[in-house]
Amino acid sequence: MYNIDRNEKTFMEQLLWDKIEYNNIQLIITANDSGINFVNNPNCGISEIYDFFSNLAAEFKYGNEKTEEYKIQIREYLDGNRKYFDLPMNFIGNEFQKKVWSEITTIKYGDTIDLNDFANQFAESKSQVEEAILSNPLIILIPSHRITGVDYKNSLRNSSAFIKYLLNIEKE
């Protein structure tokens, strides 16, 4: 499994959660005062967050006005009406993961890059870069779907149909 950081205790006093329903897709998001920190795979429950944050100890509270802007911008993206997100994001991971995720956000809407080319930007090995990509807790917002050649088969993000769906949104 691709946990964010197995050695680090992940603790949040309270997580707001909400759901986004779009066509036949349901996404669950979580956020805290620092920003959005998780988007689950389509049509999976909130419990999937524990696959990413195995040491999570949190009280979940159903969203309110604080999650509304996250939902609006993600729906706009799914509609094809938003190319960039203007949201506070709370990256929960180790420093290398955060570095990889930050670099992923520079891949322009509609563009793709091969994993080998992307990994060459880092001193770490291709497999370490790929593991950071696979541990991305913010699909859509950190657009790892724009990196081709990633082996999602045995990962928590193994929805190739959803990846194709996101890429098709960006082609239109």
Q: Using the predicted structure, report yes or no on whether residue 132 has a pLDDT greater than 50.
A: yes
Give the three-state DSSP class for 157. coil
Supply the CATH classification number for the domain 95-171.
1.10.10.10
Those residues whose C-beta lies under 8 Å from the C-beta of residue 163, and which sit 6 or more positions away, are: 145, 152
**The pLDDT value given to residue 54:** 65
Q: Using the predicted structure, report yes or no on whether residue 2 has a pLDDT greater than 80.
A: no
Q: Using the predicted structure, report yes or no on whether residue 4 has a pLDDT greater than 50.
A: no
Name beta bridge partners: 101: none
State pLDDT tens for residues 78-99: 999 999 999 999 888 899 999 9
Delimit the domains of the chain by residue range.
Answer: 11-78, 95-171
Percent of the chain exceeding pLDDT 70 equals 86
Those residues whose C-beta lies under 8 Å from the C-beta of residue 88, and which sit 6 or more positions away, are: 34, 35, 36
Q: Using the predicted structure, report yes or no on whether residue 15 has a pLDDT greater than 90.
A: no
Interatomic CA distance for residues 78 and 74, integer angstroms: 6
Those residues whose C-beta lies under 8 Å from the C-beta of residue 69, and which sit 6 or more positions away, are: 87
**The pLDDT value given to residue 6:** 40
Mean pLDDT of the 23-46 span:
87
CA dist list (Å): 50 to 11, 30, 41, 46, 156: 12, 12, 13, 8, 11
CA dist list (Å): 67 to 30, 88, 116: 8, 11, 36
Mean pLDDT of the 123-131 span:
95
Mean pLDDT of the 100-108 span:
96
Those residues whose C-beta lies under 8 Å from the C-beta of residue 91, and which sit 6 or more positions away, are: 37, 97, 98, 101, 102, 137, 138
CB neighbours (10 Å) of residue 115? 16
**The pLDDT value given to residue 83:** 95
Q: Are the C-beta atoms of 22 and 29 separated by less than 8 Å?
A: no
Q: Are the C-beta atoms of 18 and 70 separated by less than 8 Å?
A: yes
**The pLDDT value given to residue 130:** 95
**The pLDDT value given to residue 7:** 44
Residue found by looking up tokens 């322009």 in the block: 108
CB neighbours (10 Å) of residue 147? 22
Could you tell me the pLDDT band of residue 44, with boundaries at 50, 70 and 90?
confident
Q: Using the predicted structure, report yes or no on whether residue 165 has a pLDDT greater than 50.
A: yes
Name beta bridge partners: 28: 19
Could you tell me the pLDDT band of residue 58, with boundaries at 50, 70 and 90?
confident
Q: Which of 2-6, 55-59, 98-102 has the lowest mean pLDDT?
A: 2-6
